[in-house]
Amino acid sequence: MTEPGAVACAWPPAPIRTERLVLREPEARDRAAFIELFASPEVGTYIGGPRPRDELERAVPEVPGRRPGLFVIDLDGAMIGMVTLDRREAERPGHVRPDAGEAELGYMFLPEAWGYGYAAEACAAVLGWCADALPGEPVVLCTRTANDRAMRLAAKLGFTEAGRFEEYGAEQWFGVWSPVTPSG
């Protein structure tokens, strides 16, 4: 079953294992990490700011974030971040398909997990999964140009620029990634 805005595919997939990480569905034990992610001023710097912790404590469900397209990133049994795939809304700027609704990659990691290549490792695995689950579909990504870490990560993953525009009062970089299709 899918929700509006979610990628249409069989969900959840079996956990995906990379060299250092497991990509899996959220569980109740991830709740504190979810709250930390959304309450962190560092994480929120370029994505609308942190949310008040007491509000999050009230609003976040017992098992948070359980929906199609959301992968918890697990390092040694603890959540360090999340990677999301959602359908890009038609009314937003930035599209590469005439019918819009592209699969859009998002990523958020706890600050203590930055600088180790975990986000790159997790996102590369999600893109690999996309190439199988959504064959031939491009994946898009949007980030503020001021968000150096997110910009470096997008480039490392192989996203290329498809446009720039103003949104939320700041310059946004819009990139696209396409799966490599076997030739011949």
Ligand X SMILES: CC(C)(COP(=O)(O)OP(=O)(O)OC[C@H]1O[C@@H](n2cnc3c(N)ncnc32)[C@H](O)[C@@H]1OP(=O)(O)O)[C@@H](O)C(=O)NCCC(=O)NCCS
Both tokens of residue 123?
Answer: 């996102």
Per DSSP (E only), the strands in the chain are 16-17, 22-24, 70-75, 78-87, 103-109, 139-144, 160-167, 170-177
Residue 110: CB minimum distance to ligand X, A: 8
Nearest-CB residue to ligand X?
117
Q: Name the site residues for ligand X (rule: CB under 6 A).
A: 43, 46-47, 107-109, 114-120, 143, 147, 149-150, 152-153, 156
DSSP assignment of 82-134 equals EEEEEEPPTTSS--SSTT---EEEEEEE-GGGTTSSHHHHHHHHHHHHHHHHS
Query: For ligand X, which is the closer residue by CB, 136 or 169?
Result: 169
* Half-sphere exposure at residue 152, Cβ-oriented, CA atoms within 13 angstroms: 8
Residue 109: CB minimum distance to ligand X, A: 4
Residue 142: CB minimum distance to ligand X, A: 6
Query: For ligand X, which is the closer residue by CB, 70 or 182?
Result: 70
Query: For ligand X, which is the closer residue by CB, 14 or 168?
Result: 168
Query: For ligand X, which is the closer residue by CB, 15 or 117?
Result: 117
